[in-house]
Amino acid sequence: MKTDLQQILSITGEPGLFRYVAQARNGMIAESMLTGRRSVFGPHAKVSSLSDISIYTEDGETPLKDVLLKMKEILGEDNAPDPKSDSKVLKEFFAKAIPGYDGDRFYVSHMKKVVTWYNVLKQYASLDFEEPGENAEETGEKPAEEEK
C-alpha cells in the first residue's frame, strides 16, 4: 500500500510520526506510528504534513518526498544511519543523497529528523508514495469503471 505524505504528520514536541485520523471539535485526532495510540491535538499544536516539508539546497529547495526516494535508492533495503551517529557520518550520507544541500540552512538536527522519519516510514508504512490526486476517494473522483 502506498503512503500518502499529506496524511503523515510531524508534531512539534512529540516523538516520531503520526497518521492523520480525523478532525475533532477541539483540534484533530492523530495516531502515533510508533505506538498506535491516538491523541487529540489542539489548534495551537505545531503540525507539519511531510508533503509540505522541503530541504534547502544550493538551487532552492527539494521536496522531502524526493529526498526520501533518493535515500531509498542509495540505501536499498538498509536503514538510514542512526540519528545518534556522529555528525560527520550524517553529513557524508546527505552529501550522497542530496549533493547540493545547503550546509548553512540544512543543519545536523534536521538531518537527524530526516533519517528518523525515513526509518519510521520504512518500518511502519511504505517508502512507495502516492502521487497527488492518485487516491480517487480523497479527490472525489469516481473510478473509471463507474463512469458512464
DSSP 8-state code for residue 136: H
Count how many Cα atoms sit within 13 Å of the Cα of residue 97 in the half-sphere of its side chain. 30
Res 1: pLDDT = 82
Q: Give just the sign of the alpha carbon dihedral 67, 68, 71, 72.
A: negative
Domains of the chain by residue range: 54-124
**What are the distances in angstroms from CA 3 to CA 7, 37, 131?**
8, 19, 9
Residues 6+ apart with CB under 8 A from 4: 51, 129, 130, 135, 138
Q: Which pTM does this prediction carry? A: 0.85
pLDDT, tens digit only, all 148 positions of the chain: 899 999 999 999 999 999 999 999 999 999 999 999 999 999 999 999 999 999 999 999 999 999 999 999 999 999 999 999 999 999 999 999 999 999 999 999 999 999 999 999 999 999 999 887 665 444 444 333 333 3
Question: With helix as H, strand as E and coil as C, how does 35-64 read?
Answer: CCCEEEECCCCCEEEHHHCEEEECCEEEEH
Q: Are 1 and 126 in contact (CB under 8 A)?
A: yes
Res 77: pLDDT = 92
Cα–chain-centroid distance for residue 33? 12
Residues in the chain: 148
Q: Select from 1.10.10.1650, 3.30.1540.10, 1.20.20.10, 3.60.21.10 the CATH code of 54-124.
A: 1.10.10.1650
Res 142: pLDDT = 38
Res 135: pLDDT = 57
Res 131: pLDDT = 82
